[in-house]
Structure 1
Amino acid sequence: MKSGLQRRLLLLLLAPMGVLAVLGAYFDYRTAGNVALQQDQQLLRLIPLLADSVVGPGTEQGTPPILLLAPAIEEFVKGRANAGGFRVSDAAGNFVAGEAWIPVVLPPTFDAEFHSVEDRGISYRIVVQRAKTTAGELILQLADGADPRQQWVRSMLLTVLLPNLVLVIAAGFAFNWAVTRALRPLIELKEAVERRSPRDLSAIDPLATPAEVQPLVTALNRLFDLVNDQAEGQRRFVADAAHQLRTPLAGLQAQVEAWAQAARASGKEGAVTLSADKVLRLRSATRRTSQLANQLLALSRADASVTSAQPMQRVDLRELCESVLPTQLDAAMKKGIDLGLETQPAQVTGHEWLLRELLSNLVDNAIKYTPTGGTVTIRCGPCSRPDAQGVEQSGAYLEVEDDGPGIAPHERSLAVQRFYRVKGTQEEGNGLGLAIADEIARLHRSQLELGDARPATEGEQTARRSGLKVRLQLV
């Protein structure tokens, strides 16, 4: 915004000023040229009077001729003290009368000629003419040091260029201040849109923007409404589908569980083995489908537009961990996993039900991928983390650590994507557990940190690490 619209406005404002300054200098020069032309015409009128001022030859041989300056010539000389004068020379150019410093010029004809001469830092305009007088043929010269064009060149820097340059610089600062103030609402609008979450589709207040931008804001709000309606329809479909699937899937799973128990307890050994195997496969499929429906429902509920209408509250992480632990004990005991708790008092601001969903998914994942006899540990406690400006802020952390196969570093960014399964995984799953947890973390302006449960040994540098530690820092 600043480098685009503001720069163009400044250029469009300053460019005419520069053009006007150049035009002003040009017209000043033209004015000086007109005055100089009038001066040349005056010198042409005076040179015949200088010839008439020679009233006769010298009284003796070799003496200068007798001069009686005409009033106009006398006034011209007196009016230009130290900046003008005349010279009378004989036909060969020898000095006869007047100012000896005026350089002699020998014109080939009797026509008047003009020359410019620099002397003692003054530029002179000189008219010279060969004329026949009562004292014989003489060379007459009039010098005028008040040449407007030469004065214009000398005073160009101080009277034209420097004031115009100062004016353009001052105008540049003034225009920059004015344009910045005028564009401030537009820049604030741009910054407000940049600070928005990609899922924040709330309308922008048109009355808080300049009148010229209000049509654009209205169009953006219309687009936000369309996108929001489409996203809301998708969320509603996922939530309704998942909710509708839960009841029949729960009934189907209950029936399959009963069949599995009945298959183990009845019939001959061979027949029971075949029947139980098929029923157990069916039970596994129904469990996975039921889990998928629940996870899709959780993913839909974790959407930013849904949670934005619900205020955040203070959440005690220790109580949260203690409430999640009993719900995961049965699954841990079936695999002989040591499910432990290491907590310290810590509180954060957030949505308690979403944080519980996040922690449940992390613990469920850890138990699922930890081998029999392994260990899963839930931790929480105070910590600090830098904000956007790099200032440390006090907060708290949630952490789940296991000693399962872990996730290779190059797969960790993919593991939080929806429906992604880590290569080589044998356990059943839908690839949504970490995705749901990461979605909830982003709603709390944070993100999941995946790392090794313990440092890798030398032989494990290129292999999969042993154990996974998932950490979430909150404020």
Structure 2
Amino acid sequence: MKARHSLQRTLSLGLTVGVTLLWLMGVTASAMVAQHEMNEVFDSALQETAQRILPLAVTDILSREAGTGQKRAPAMGDHEEYLTYLVRDASGKILLQSHDTDISVFDARPRQGFFDTDTHRIYGESAVSDTLFIEVAEPLAHRREAAFEAGLALLLPLLVLIPVSLIGVWWAVRCSLRRVVVFRETLESRGSADLSPIAVERLPAEFEPIAASINRLLERLRRALEAERSFTANSAHELRTPLATALAKVQRLKTELSEKTSLQKASEIEESLHNLARLSQKLLELAKAEGGGVLSEEEHDLVPILETIIGDYERLNPGRIDAQLPNTEVTSLLNPDAFAILIRNLIENALKHGGKGGAVEIRLSADGTVSVKNHGDIVAPSDMALLRNRFVRAETNALGSGLGLAIAEAIVSGAGIRLGLHSPARGWQDGFEAELNVVIKR
């Protein structure tokens, strides 16, 4: 089974990830621009430092030739020196250096302009007709540290902006899809028998054609089902009166006939009319079962209804009914008429197809589980799969129309419950069992 994908979650995560990536790209571009600008500032500082110190260094060196001055510039206090300088002559002899200068950073001979070593950025400048040279060095690590701190300053706000963005995007998407969620919940909560139009108020424009198409489909389906049910119900209803009239005339004719052959034929006609009357009754029940309305607005106690139905069949079939009912109420939203039709068909099916004279076991538990069992031949698995269909019967000599289980299946499907069929019956070596739970709550 494939996992369900939420449009709301997909849009929220997708938009948040997209915005985050755009921010990261923006931060990266900003960091690169900032680093470039900082390098220009640092280079300008190197150049400015060299040009400021060189005249002072020349003065100091010339003074030293007169017997004053020092080769190493004195430190004004302990501090970390980012810029160090070295003043040399053309041969590379050191004439003056800052107090924290690392000589190994510089080449053997002085150079002019900007150049890089493995660890430092250096700028060289000359004076006194290229006889004195100054080189100012700055550690590259210092520049990298400054670039890292600038990038970090740009990146840290994202730690707050990303969750805030996720919440904001989720809220915006949720508000935008609120009507779509209501539309989905409306579809999910509808029963299989509910073919009324779906409300499409204020749906996003992208979903309105879907809702309109569903409503057109539901309308066509409703018309088709109503036409089918109407035809079945009308046919069954309209047949009852002429069948009853014909049956009464045949029965009256039997009283007037004395010839054995004629009586036999009249009895056969009477039996055919009885079968046709039973079939019309089953068709009428099937139309009611498929017509919706199998659920009530209020809960009803089903125990008295089942007691009444069992009492009717006990009078018609003395000794064949073995019933066991709970002493407590069993309430359900199942319509009492639909429940009565359902139970009658299950009991009739058990009486017709059970062993000759065999008892039919009827059980209703306090949790609403109904079981109807009868002894008899085991139904083949291939036949079991088809018994819920209309006019389908297992191999049997019993009279019937093949609609009993189809009516029961129509009712349980409309109520959203499941009808279980077992052969052999559970706990028995033979027979047939129909089992379902009739408790339906809000």
TM-score range, shorter chain: 0.7 to 0.9
Matched residue, 1:88? 87
Question: Which residue of 320, 324, 342 maps to 1:338?
Answer: 320
2: distance between equivalents of 1:444 and 1:104? 90
Cα pair distance change 1:96/1:256, threshold 3 Å: farther
> 2:373 matched to 1:414?
no
Q: CA RMSD in A?
A: 4.1
Shift of residue 281 of structure 1? 5.6
Amino acid at match of 1:348: T
Identity %: 23
2: distance between equivalents of 1:51 and 1:157? 35
Output one character per residue of 1:161-199: Cα deviation in whole Å (capped at 9) or x when no partner: 333244223322342344345534432431231122122
Cα pair distance change 1:30/1:430, threshold 3 Å: same
Amino acid at match of 1:112: G
Output one character per residue of 1:248-306: Cα deviation in whole Å (capped at 9) or x when no partner: 3334445556677888x624xxxx3xx77766665554443332221111111123534
Matched residue, 1:434? 405
Matched residue, 1:112? 113
2: distance between equivalents of 1:415 and 1:148? 86
RCO higher in 1 or 2 (8 Å CA, sep ≥ 6)? 2
Matched residue, 2:170? 176
Matched residue, 1:376? 360
2: distance between equivalents of 1:473 and 1:33? 77
2: distance between equivalents of 1:378 and 1:43? 103
Cα pair distance change 1:347/1:229, threshold 3 Å: same
Output one character per residue of 1:397-431: Cα deviation in whole Å (capped at 9) or x when no partner: 44332212243456444322322222x22333222
The 8 Å contact of residues 342 and 411 in structure 2, kept in 1 or not, is answered as: yes
Matched residue, 2:122? 126
Q: Superposed, which structure 2 residues align to 1:84-233 within 5 Å?
A: 84-99=83-98, 100-106=101-107, 111-115=112-116, 118=119, 124-129=120-125, 131=126, 133=128, 137-144=131-138, 149-156=143-150, 158-180=152-174, 182-207=176-201, 217=211, 220-233=214-227
Structure 2 residue matching 1:27: 3-state secondary structure: helix
TM-score (norm 1): 0.74
Range with greater deviation from structure 2 (241-250 or 1-10):
1-10
Output one character per residue of 1:70-97: Cα deviation in whole Å (capped at 9) or x when no partner: xxxx9xx99x962213112344544332
Cα pair distance change 1:287/1:320, threshold 3 Å: same
Amino acid at match of 2:95: V
Amino acid at match of 1:468: F
Question: Which sections of structure 2, spanning at least 5 residues, go unmatched?
Answer: none
Structure 2 residue matching 1:440: 3-state secondary structure: helix
Question: Which sections of structure 1, spanning at least 5 residues, go unmatched?
Answer: 119-123, 385-395, 458-465
> 2:373 matched to 1:401?
yes
Amino acid at match of 1:101: D
Matched residue, 2:58? 54
How many matched pairs?
426
1: distance between equivalents of 2:234 and 2:186? 34
2: distance between equivalents of 1:153 and 1:42? 16
The 8 Å contact of residues 117 and 126 in structure 1, kept in 2 or not, is answered as: no
Q: Superposed, which structure 2 residues align to 1:289-368 within 5 Å?
A: 289-307=276-294, 311-312=297-298, 314-326=300-312, 329-330=315-316, 332=317, 338-345=320-327, 346-349=329-332, 350-368=334-352
Cα pair distance change 1:183/1:47, threshold 3 Å: same
Shift of residue 435 of structure 1? 1.4
Matched residue, 1:242? 236
Cα pair distance change 1:260/1:147, threshold 3 Å: same
2: distance between equivalents of 1:109 and 1:260? 140
Amino acid at match of 1:449: G
The 8 Å contact of residues 236 and 280 in structure 2, kept in 1 or not, is answered as: yes
Question: Which residue of 427, 432, 438 maps to 1:468?
Answer: 432
Shift of residue 141 of structure 1? 0.6
TM-score (norm 2): 0.78
Shift of residue 210 of structure 1? 5.1
